[in-house]
Amino acid sequence: MEFEQLLVLTVDDDPCVSRVVQLKLENAGYRVVKAVTAEEAMGKIQQLKPDIIITDVKMPGMSGIELCRQCEQVLPTHECMMIVLTSQLDEQSKQWVESRPNRRYIPKPFSPRRILETVNEYRARRGLACAAF
C-alpha cells in the first residue's frame, strides 16, 4: 500500500479555522470534510468513518470532548486520531485527552504546520502498522 488518502473531519464553529485546516491538509494530500457542530460531526463520523478528527471544544451544543467520548463509545473498534484544537482546556479534560496515544491536544492560536506534522506522524504510524501487517 502506497499513499493512503486519509479522511480528515474538522469540527469547528469558526469558519476561519476550518478553512485553514482544510487548505493546509488538502494541499498535503488529505481529504477533508467539515462539520460546524458536534451533532453534525457525529452524523458524519458514523457515515464516513474519518481517520482523523480535528475538533474544537467550545461549540454551541455538545462540546468537542463529549464528541470524542461518544465517538469512542459508538465506534470502539474504529481506529482514528482525535486532535482537540482549542484555546482553553480544563485540567481534567486535558488529562483525559492525553491518556491515550491516539488523542492530541493542540492549543489555539495554533500553527497549521503543527497540525500537518501531527497528522503526518499518525499516517506514518498507520502506514508502518499496515506495513508490519
Partner 1 sequence: MNLVNKLKVLLSGVRIENSKTLSIIQVLVAVLFLTGVALMCYVFVRNEWTAAVGHVIAGGESLTDVAAGVCEEPLARNDTLALHSVVARLKYEDRLAFAQVSDAHGAVLARSGNAALAERLAAMSPVDSWETPQTVHRTYHDPGTGTLYYTFERPVIANDEHAGTVQVALRHPRLMPFIASGMRRAGMGLFGVALLLMLGNYFLHACIGPLGRLKRQVLAAQDKEWEKLELDLPSSGEAGEIAAGIDKIISNLGTRYRTLADCNRELQVSNRVILFEKRRTESIIDGLSDGVLVTDAYGRISLVNREAETLLQIDRKDVLGGVPGEVLPARREIVQFIGADAQAARRRTAEFDFSNGEGKKVVRAVWAPFAATAAVAAQGDKPAGGMVLLRDVTQQKMEEQTRRDFISNVVHELRAPLSSIKSYVEMLIDNEADTPELRTEFFNTINEEADRLARLIDNMLNISKIEIGGLVLSKSSVKTRKLLEDAISSVAGTAKGKNIKLTANLPDDLPEAELDKEMVRVVLMNLLGNAIKYTEPGGSVILAGEVDASEVKVHVIDTGWGIPPDEQEKVFQKFYRGKQTAKQKVTGNGLGLALAKEIACLHGGDLRLQSEEGKGSKFTLSLPLR
Task: List phi, psi (to 5°) of 100.
Answer: -130, 145
CA angle 31/70/8 to nearest 5° reads 5
Q: How far apart are CA 76 and CA 66, in angstroms?
A: 15
Q: How far apart are CA 18 and CA 74, in angstroms?
A: 24
- Given the rule CB under 8 A, which residues bind partner 1? 13-17, 19-20, 23-24, 27, 36-37, 58-61, 87-88, 108-113
Smallest separation, CB 130 to partner 1 (Å): 28
Smallest separation, CB 24 to partner 1 (Å): 6
For partner 1, give the closer residue by CB, 59 or 81.
Answer: 59
For partner 1, give the closer residue by CB, 16 or 131.
Answer: 16
